[in-house]
Structure formats: C-alpha cells, structure tokens
Amino acid sequence: MAKNDLQGTLELLILKTLAQNTSLHGYGIVLHIERVSGELLRVEEGSLYPALHRMEQNQWVRSQWALTETNRRAKFYSLTAVGRKQLAITERAWEQTVKGVQAVLHFA
Amino acid sequence: MNLPRRIAALFRRSSVDREIADELQAHLAMRTEDNIAAGMPPDAAARDARLRFGNPTATRERVEHVDIATGLDSFWRDIRYAIRGYCNAPLFAIVAIITLALGIGANTAIFQLLNEVRLRSLPIQHPEELVDIRIIGGNQGIGVSNSYYSSLTKPVWQEIERSHEPLAGVFAWSAEFQNMQTGANVNDVRAVRSINVSSQFFSTLGLEPIAGRLLDPEDMAAACAGSSAVVSYTWWQSQMGGRAISGAESVVLDRISYRIVGVTPPRFFGLAVGENFDFITPLCIPQNVGREYFDVGVMGRLAPGWNIDRATHWFTAASKGIFEAALPQGYNATVTEQFRNFKLGAYLANSGVSLLRRNYDSSLWILLGITGLVLLIACANLANLMLARASARQREIALRMALGATRTRLLRQLLLESGLLALFGAFLGIALAQVFSRLLIRVLASTDENLALNVHTDWRVLLFTSGIAVLTCTVFGTLPAFRAAKADPIHALKTGDAHAAGHRERYSMQRLMVVLQVAVSMVLLVTALLFVRSFRNLMTVDPGMRENGITVGGFLYPTSTITPEHFEEFKHQLVDEVRSVPGVSNAAIVTMAPLSGGSWGHLINIGSREGNSHFTWVSPTYFATMGIPIVSGRGFNDNDTANSPRVAIVNRAFVDRYFPGENPLGKTIRTQAEPRYPATLFEIVGVIPNTLYSDIHEKRSETMAFVPARQFPSEADGRGTQLVIASSLPSAIISEEIKRNIRAKHPEVRMYFFDVHERVLKSLLKERLLAILSGFFGALAAILVMVGLYGVVSYLVTRRRNELGIRIALGSTRSRIVSLVMGEAGRMLLVGTLIGTAISLAVTRSAGSLLFGLKTWDPATIAFAITALAAVAFSASFLPAFRAARLDPVDALRRD
C-alpha cells in the first residue's frame, strides 16, 4: 500500500516542477504549478517554504541565491540526483494512490 | 520592545534566520509586482499578496522550525544558548573551566612526559624494525661495566658483526662523556657528549646528513688515530652558528683530533631517550682490546622475514660460538664457564633505550594515577555544582518541556552545556600542560645535567587529552543531565518548587559524590604520606660515615712522564699536597668513592667457602677523613706497602657473613683471579662498623673490604687517582682552591670535583619529586573535598530548614541541631574513609618498590590520613551546622 498524504502531494508537485525547469524560486514554483494545472491547483503558499526547506534538508533539492529577470534577489531551487530518485518513487506512489482511489470510486 | 533593542535583536539573529526572512520577503514582493503589473493599485496588490501568502510570521516560524529540528543550525543555537547561560552565571563557568583546565592540564603534562620517555618511537625510518642485542639476564657482574647502555664487550661485537643472519644492518655504539680541549692547559676542557659508532650506524638507522656528509669507511678505518666527527644539529646551531661545513674545522676530544664533516638531522637525539649528544665519532677497537670490558651496545635492523622471536632464537643458538671466541683471559674456571654460557637475545628497540625511562617510568605512572584521581574529585565537585545549577533551572526546563521540547532535545542541550565546559577546559588544559611539563623537566634537569628532553604534543597526547575531556564530561555532566531531563514538568510548574525532580534521589546522589570524594582523597592522602615519609626516611638515613663536607676529587695525568713504578709515590705526594691546601682538614686516596653510584667487587674464598665482597683501595687517612672508627684491630699505616704482607680491613657485615661469632682478626681471605687483578691472600687486621656503600637507598649492609692503596695491583694501575677530601668550606670553594694549588705544581694534572652530599641529594631527586607532587595533590584533594562537603552540607541544611525550624520550635537544643547536621557529614566521612582505606591498601601495594623504610601497610599513615580527613570534614560542616543551630524557627517556618 503506497503511503501518501497531502504533504506528499505537494512534494511531488515541487519535485516534478523542478524536474521540468532547471532552477526556480519559490514564487516561480507556485506560478508554474498554477499555470500548468490550468489554475486547477492552487499551492498553499504558507506550506510551500517549510516543504522546500525540508526537502533541502533531505538533500532532494539544493538552493542558491541569484537574481530574477526583474533584478530581484531570490533563492533558486534545483533538483539533486537524490531528488530525481525521490521523484521517481513519489510518482510511482502517486500512481498507486490514484489507482486505488479510482478503484474505490468505481466500485459497483 | 524599544527600538534600540529591536535593532540589536536583528543583528543577533543568525544569518539563517535572516535568509529565511529574505526569501519570504522576496516571494511577497514578486507577487505584489505581478499584481501591479496585472493592473491592481499598489495597496490592493500588497494586500492580495499577503492574503495568498497567509501569516508571514507563522510561516517563517514553520520554516525556521524545519531548519532547526533537523539542521546543524540547531546545534549552533544550543551552543549559543549554553554560552548565554554561562555568561549569566560567569562565576560558575569560570570555576568549572579553571578546575577542569588544571585537572586536565596536570594529567596531560604527566602524560606528555610519559609519552616522551616511554611511548614515542625514535625519529628514524621504520623504528619498529630496530632491535637491541643483549645478554639474556645481563652479564651477572662479570667484568667491568661502564654504562647502563653498554651490555656487550667489543670482541663479542666483532663476532656479531662477522655473522648476523637475522639482521639486515648491525652496529655497535657507546655513549660517553669526553673532554673537549678548549685551551692549551690540560684543565682547559669542557665535557661533551659523544657517541662512538661502528661503520653501519648511519645506514642501519637510515640517517641522512642535513649538512656535509656522514662518516664513511675511510673514517672508520682510522678510528683510533683520529679521523672525522659528525656533530648534532643542536651543536651545529648553538656552537658553530649553523655555518657551512667546510671540513676544515676540527675538534680535540680526549686528545684525539677529529675533523667535523657533517651534521645529523635536527630530530635525531641519539639512541638514549632523555640524553642528547654533541659528537658522533668512529668507534675505536684497539689491537689489545680489553676483553672483560662491557662497553658497547649493539643494535640492528631486522632483515625482511625475521621477527623478534626468530632472531632471539638464532642468536641464542649462535651464542656458544660467539662467547667462546670472545673469552676474556685471566678468570678462573667458574667465571670463564659462566661467560661461555651467556645467551644473546634480541629485544625491541623501537623507542630506543633510556636510563631515564628505567628511573622514572613507574613514578610517572603513579603520578598519572594521582593526577587522574584529583581530576576525578574535581569532577565530583563539578557534578555537584551542575546538580545545584540544574535544580535552579528546574522551572526553565519544566517550561521548555511544557512547550513541547522532547526529553532527548533537553538532554542534548544539557550534555552540550557540560561538553562545552569540558572543551574549554581541555583547550586551556593543553596550554597549561605545556607549561607544567616544561616546569617538571626543568626541575629534573636542574639536578641532572645529562637530561635533555623535549616534549611534543603529538597525536597520542591529543588523543589522551580528548579522551579524559570526554571522560570528565561524562562523569560530571551525564548524571545531572539525565536527572534534570527526567523532571516532571507539571509538578515542577504547579508547586513552584525548585527541587521537584525527585529531590530525595538527587540528594542521595550528592551524598554519593561526597563519599566518593572522601574515598578517593583518602587514597591520595595515604599515597602522599607514604611518599613524604619515605623521602624523610631517606633524608635522615645515617650512612655511618661523614657525608657532609666531603668532596671527591679526580686527578688524571695521562700525559705525565711518571713511570709506572712511581705511580703510588706520586699519588701519595698528591694526597700530601692536597692535605696541605688551607681549608682542607683531611684527604685520602679511594678507588671507589662512597655514595657515588659506582661499585667494585671480587669473588673471594675464605678457606673452602666461596663468596664475594666489595673491595676498595684506600690510603691510611681514609677512615679518619670519612669519620669511620676502627672498632677492633688497627687501621692502615705507611708501613703497609707493596712489599709488606697484604692486609685488609673489613666491615661488620663482612664479619657477620663470613666469620659469624669468631674473631676475624688474623683470618685470611683470598680473592679469585681476574684480568689484571691476580689472586691475592689478605690478612684481616681491622674491623669497621657498617656503612653505606654506593647508594643511599641500600636497604641492607653490603660486605666490604678495604685494602691499602699502596698494595693496589700494579697491572691495573694507571695515570690517575681519586681522593676524598674533607673540608669545612663549601665544596665549590675548596675545589677551586685545590685546583689552583695543584695546577701550579703539576700543570699536566687534570682535575674534576664533586660533592658527595650533592650527589646523594641528586640520587634522591625521584623521591623528592614524588613527595612534593603527591603531597601537593594530596593537599589539593583535601581542599576539594572540603569545598564539596561544605556545599552538600549547606544544601542539606537549606533543604531541611523547615524540619529544623520545627525541631527548634519544639525545644530541640542548639547543640543537638549541630550534632544532627554534623552527624550527617560524619556518616559520609565514615563510609568514605572505609572505602578509601580498602582502596589504599590495594593501590599502594604497587608502590612498594618506591618506598624506603616503610611497609605499604602502615597503620600510622592510614590513621593520620583519617585524622586529616576528619579535620577537613569537621571544618567543612561546622559552619553550616552552626548556621542551622542559629536558625530562627519563626522565620524558617514562615518561609516555606
């Protein structure tokens, strides 16, 4: 049984986002998720940063201070090799969860 | 919060905190910008950003929490918190750190010395392959041994050099003092240390010159005629100013000239730890080498594939051939057979050889034990301090637990706090140790001019220091920390009682600490007393003869033209001349000066019985000079000459051993033949009482025989003599006076002098050091115990204030209160001394060999130690008890 929860979902979204973009700051991650999901998903911004920092402690992501296009200093996150592996694990777990939930929903 | 403090708080915040704030701020700003770009008015844009983001402070704290809970940052935070805590209670921190630094410093200093004399390897390549070749069990007093390091004769060395299968390289060496000529007169000399080495010395040790070259085979071939010498780095720097080695400079050592051709590496101090050298010269083996002189050491490097056991086996097997070929002539059959049966063995020599090690090894271990125990007592005091501190912080800890801190987290914090103290203590301790160990070496060197020891702080020392730092930290930190972290927060907060954490339990732990301290300090006091009393015994030993105001003078005249048949005449002339120097009350020839470390003996036959005795040749005035009475028979006089019958004066021990219950006068003794000492028949003409012979430590009286100097075997006679000189003037002054007088008459005579009493004091250095240091540490332990006991008894009185108040209110007398409190201290003392006595008895047993005139089980010593501790306990508990008795019951009852 795949372990999953809301937090896990947010981590998955962050990991996937960083996998698709080489390096993004927190606000960029929020924008990316909202844009790609067609505004269906809204990231709770208050939870984003604790999650990012936790992931950094786990060494899934690394961070670096850099300038944005508008010349503002921001902390940019990018995926590490460990993070890439974690993404694969989390993705598989997510698929299991979706399958499981769907099976329950379609039970007749 | 006012503005300045706010700003200060901003700066104090760690960079990590600021980074988080910046990151979140950037997020909000970017959202606001985007909102404005999308057409919102600035106010609305900022509000929208805030709404989406949620409470920024809460978010920041959540992020911080993530970082703190898992990151290194929290460690740093704990450290800062701990330091803040110590800054609030600086006295506690200072006392703790100084206590630890002194304790750790003393331990490290002793360990540094121990490391230097015992553990460090020689600074050569692969020291672990170096072996020392010696006779298994020593040479049993056969022949003449001239130094602790020289265990083989030159002929034996020549045999080993010829064939040494287990060794890839092998060399002979002998270290000795030589006289370096500094002026034209024979007395213009300076004693230098030289090592005489055989050809493979440098290649076997793997030494490379730092300047010039080392000795080559050509130098070795010319060894006896004077060839080349290599100087030590120290000599090169201090005496030659480190200038280039040209090969033109030369030095005259014992009348042989050497060209200085090179310098050894700076770290190389020779093979004897604790002794440096100045010159290395080729070893001279003359054609007519003395075959009974044990005057070289032999070392080698194990060949690949050989180990110590196999090498020993090989040498043992080869011994028969080696000693057969190196037999000395002139001994009787028994001794010759004994020599023939010697067996050689190989011994590890990776850390060189050392007289210093032999002399001080056990003392240093004992000192290390003593300093370790002192540290333990100090730790117990610190633990009590920590406990008191923890109970004062009970509310803080309870509050933190109530706010969600886990026990592990608190434990970490508390351990970190004690760890921090230990760390500071250790750093300071290492610094102090450098001072302590150098101070100790200076004390040792002040009476032993041979001593040259450098201390290093190598990995062993650092490992040792960190080891004891961790250990002390565990001892004084862990228990209080566990105790504090076990607190029940609700109880602590509800009652507001600062002692909520099971006070009975902690209270008994404090008692346990005091009992431990008493026991350990008892051990230290007993040890100190034993050493002090042993030293006192040695200082007050009656040698049975004059010891003060006796100077030994050596007179050497190797270049004089006197012929051997006039040797005795010249010696007696010298005695007369010395006696006529103003200030000299008496003087006599003596072949072996008393109490000076040397010894000379012969095997003897009394009738059919075989035995041995010390032999000393003296001129007639000897017994008068030394203040030794003739108890029966006669002394020597000028009629005892080479042509008269051989006579001897023996001491009481000799009579007791060989003529028990008989009149020894007129009896004869015969010495057995030895090279240059033919068998001789002596008639006993006098008896003297027992005196000490060579060493103040002698526990039983040696058998001694004295023979007239004029009857000294002419074969053994040489161009030199030794005198004992009695004078009421200080040795240094009378020596100069004699030197001036004799030099005027005989410019070719070289002289040296030493004071017998000074020599004796030097030989007591180890005992003095042990007595002083153990006494010092014993006193320190007593003081620490006093402080610890005072703290605990005061604490006890505070704890029981309520109860004591009630007792007083109910009519208990002051004296009963005093006895109540002091009884508490008395019980701790009793248990502590009982345990301490048991441990002392077990521990001091190992120090038995270092004690003089005392048994390790010495009731007086133990009684004295107990009395001292009782005095300590009394003075520590009297003040608190007195305070308890003066308690105002109303006040005491109202307060709680």
- Position B660 confidence tier, pLDDT thresholds 50, 70, 90: very high
Task: Give DSSP secondary structure letters for B739-793.
Answer: HHHHHHH-TT-EEEEEEHHHHHHHHTHHHHHHHHHHHHHHHHHHHHHHHHHHHHH
pLDDT digits (tens, 9 = 90+) for B168-227: 999 999 988 888 988 888 778 888 999 999 989 999 999 999 988 988 888 888 888 878
* CA–CA min distance A95, chain B (Å): 28
- Let me know: does B825 contact B876? Beta carbons within 8 Å: yes
How many Cα atoms within 13 Å fall on the side-chain side of residue B792? 30
**Minimal Cβ distance to B23: which of A46, A49, A54:** A49
Q: Does the distance separating the beta carbons of B31 and A27 come in below 8 Å?
A: yes
- Position B70 confidence tier, pLDDT thresholds 50, 70, 90: low
B670 touches chain A (CB under 8 A): no
* CA–CA min distance B414, chain A (Å): 25
Interface mutation vs chain B, best among A53, A61, A77, most B CBs within 10 Å: A53
The dihedral through the CA atoms of B582, B586, B592, B597 has a sign that is: negative
pLDDT digits (tens, 9 = 90+) for B12-55: 456 667 788 888 888 888 888 888 988 889 898 888 888 888 88
Residues 61-90 of B with CB under 8 A from A: 62-63, 65-67, 70-71
Give the pLDDT of residue B686: 95
* CA–CA min distance B406, chain A (Å): 20
A35 touches chain B (CB under 8 A): no
CB contacts, 8 Å: A57 with chain B: 66-67, 70-71
**Which residue in the block uniquely carries the two structure tokens 């041994």?**
B145
Which residue of A lies nearest to B67 if distances are taken between CA atoms?
A53
More confident residue, B373 or B505: B373
For the CA atoms of B760, B765, B766, B770, what is the dihedral angle to 10 degrees? Answer: 130
More confident residue, B871 or A2: B871
SS3 of B253, please?
strand
More confident residue, B454 or B531: B531
Average pLDDT over residues B64-71: 63
The first and second tokens of residue B771, run together, are: 């007595």
User: What does the alpha-carbon distance between residue B530 and residue B855 come to, in Å, rounded to a whole number?
Assistant: 9
* CA–CA min distance A28, chain B (Å): 9
Q: Which residues contact B549 (CB under 8 A, 6 or more apart)?
A: B726, B727, B728, B731, B757
A6-105, what's its fold? Arc Repressor Mutant, subunit A (1.10.10)
**Minimal Cβ distance to B67: which of A25, A53, A68:** A53
Give the pLDDT of residue A1: 38
Q: Does the distance separating the beta carbons of A72 and B27 come in below 8 Å?
A: no
Residues 6-25 of A with CB under 8 A from B: 25
Residues 16-45 of B with CB under 8 A from A: 19-20, 22-24, 26-27, 29-31, 33
Give the pLDDT of residue B499: 47
- Let me know: does B154 contact B298? Beta carbons within 8 Å: no
Q: Does the distance separating the beta carbons of A72 and B30 come in below 8 Å?
A: yes
Give the pLDDT of residue A11: 87
- Position B86 confidence tier, pLDDT thresholds 50, 70, 90: confident
Give the pLDDT of residue B635: 94
Least-confidence region, from B155-164, B397-406, B727-736, B773-782: B397-406
Separate counts of helices (H) and strands (E) for chain B: 29, 23
Q: Does the distance separating the beta carbons of B66 and A57 come in below 8 Å?
A: yes
- Position B269 confidence tier, pLDDT thresholds 50, 70, 90: confident
Q: Does the distance separating the beta carbons of A57 and B62 come in below 8 Å?
A: no
- Residue B490 pLDDT more than 80? no
**H/E segment holding residue B712:** none
- Let me know: does B556 contact B720? Beta carbons within 8 Å: yes
pLDDT digits (tens, 9 = 90+) for B819-836: 888 888 888 899 999 999
Percentage of residues in chain B having pLDDT higher than 70: 94
The alpha helices in B448-502, defined as continuous H runs, are 459-473, 479-485, 489-495
Task: Give DSSP secondary structure letters for B100-143.
Answer: HHHHHHHHHHHHHHHIIIIIPPPSSSSGGGEEEEEETT--TT-S
- Residue B451 pLDDT more than 80? no
pLDDT digits (tens, 9 = 90+) for B693-732: 988 888 888 999 999 999 998 888 888 999 999 999 999 9
Residues 163-202 of B with CB under 8 A from A: none
Least-confidence region, from A88-97, B5-14, B218-227, B478-487: B5-14
B772 closest CA partner among B521, B534, B528, B540:
B528
User: What does the alpha-carbon distance between residue B521 and residue B141 come to, in Å, rounded to a whole number?
Assistant: 44
Give the pLDDT of residue B69: 54
Q: Does the distance separating the beta carbons of B24 and A73 come in below 8 Å?
A: no
User: What does the alpha-carbon distance between residue A90 and residue A13 come to, in Å, rounded to a whole number?
Assistant: 10
Percentage of residues in chain A having pLDDT higher than 70: 92
For the CA atoms of B398, B400, B401, B402, what is the dihedral angle to 10 degrees? Answer: 80
> Nearest 5°: phi and psi at B579?
-65, -25
User: What does the alpha-carbon distance between residue B628 and residue B480 come to, in Å, rounded to a whole number?
Assistant: 67
* CA–CA min distance A54, chain B (Å): 6
A27 touches chain B (CB under 8 A): yes
Q: Does the distance separating the beta carbons of B19 and A72 come in below 8 Å?
A: no
- Residue B157 pLDDT more than 90? yes
What is the interface size between A and B, counted as CB pairs within 8 Å? 59
CB contacts, 8 Å: B23 with chain A: 26, 49, 74-75
Average pLDDT over residues B250-278: 89
**Secondary structure letter of residue B268 according to DSSP:** -
**Minimal Cβ distance to B53: which of A46, A50, A57:** A46
- Position B500 confidence tier, pLDDT thresholds 50, 70, 90: very low
Long-range contacts of B813-817 (CB under 8 A, 24+ apart): B814/B885, B814/B886, B815/B885, B817/B881, B817/B884, B817/B885, B817/B887
CB contacts, 8 Å: A75 with chain B: 19, 22-23, 26
**Minimal Cβ distance to A72: which of B26, B52, B63:** B26
Q: Does the distance separating the beta carbons of A46 and B55 come in below 8 Å?
A: yes
- Position B626 confidence tier, pLDDT thresholds 50, 70, 90: very high
- Position B491 confidence tier, pLDDT thresholds 50, 70, 90: low
Residues 41-100 of A with CB under 8 A from B: 44-46, 49-50, 53-54, 57, 68, 70, 72-75
pLDDT digits (tens, 9 = 90+) for B320-364: 999 998 888 888 888 888 889 999 999 998 888 888 888 888 888
B547 closest CA partner among B447, B696, B441:
B696
Percentage of residues in chain B having pLDDT higher than 90: 34
How many Cα atoms within 13 Å fall on the side-chain side of residue B500? 20
The first and second tokens of residue B13, run together, are: 């915040």
The first and second tokens of residue B689, run together, are: 């009482």
Domain ranges within chain A, ordered by starting residue: 6-105
Interface mutation vs chain B, best among A24, A25, A27, A54, most B CBs within 10 Å: A27
Residues 500-539 of B with CB under 8 A from A: none
> Nearest 5°: phi and psi at B197?
-130, 155
Give the pLDDT of residue B124: 86
Least-confidence region, from A92-106, B48-62, B133-147, B400-414: B400-414
The mean predicted confidence, pLDDT, of chain B is 86
Give the pLDDT of residue B659: 93
Give the pLDDT of residue A42: 81
Average pLDDT over residues B150-179: 91
More confident residue, A3 or B813: B813
Average pLDDT over residues B262-281: 89
Partners of B302 in the β-ladder: B167
Q: Does the distance separating the beta carbons of A50 and B23 come in below 8 Å?
A: no
CB contacts, 8 Å: B63 with chain A: 49-50, 53
ipTM for the assembly: 0.88
Average pLDDT over residues B241-266: 88
Q: Which residues contact B55 (CB under 8 A, 6 or more apart)?
A: A46
Interface mutation vs chain B, best among A11, A49, A52, A64, most B CBs within 10 Å: A49
